[in-house]
């Protein structure tokens, strides 16, 4: 599937061995570095995933604010 929103550059995983970021978008091994775009999605979702990407970013931002 082709999408103009490239996925999977920073896959989500439970540990550093499984992915680049955790479920909140925080990059393993770096303090205060987050990825909150389509790069955390493991594969193409469909022809226009912009709403899914926006919802994921909004969720992760809410988690970040709540933890501050």
pLDDT tens per residue, range 14-65: 999 999 999 999 999 999 999 998 899 888 777 778 888 899 999 999 999 9
Tally of structural domains, the chain: 1
Q: What is the pLDDT of residue 18?
A: 93
Residue 32's domain comprises: 1-68
Residue 5 annotated as catalytic:
yes
Catalytic residue among 1, 2, 5, 32: 5
**Under 8 Å between Cβ of 55 and 22:** no
pLDDT score, position 43: 82
pLDDT-derived band at 66 (thresholds 50, 70, 90) equals very high
Q: Give the predicted TM-score (pTM) of the model.
A: 0.80
Instruction: For Cα atoms 51, 38, 54, give the angle at the middle one, nearest 5 degrees.
Output: 30
């Amino acid at each position: 599937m082709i999408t103009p929103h490239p996925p999977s550059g920073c896959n989500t995983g439970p540990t550093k061995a499984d992915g680049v970021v955790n479920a909140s978008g925080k990059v393993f091994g770096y303090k205060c570095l987050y990825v909150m775009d389509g790069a955390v999605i493991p594969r193409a979702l469909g022809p226009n995933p912009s709403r899914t990407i926006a919802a994921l970013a909004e969720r992760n931002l809410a988690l970040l604010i709540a933890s501050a």
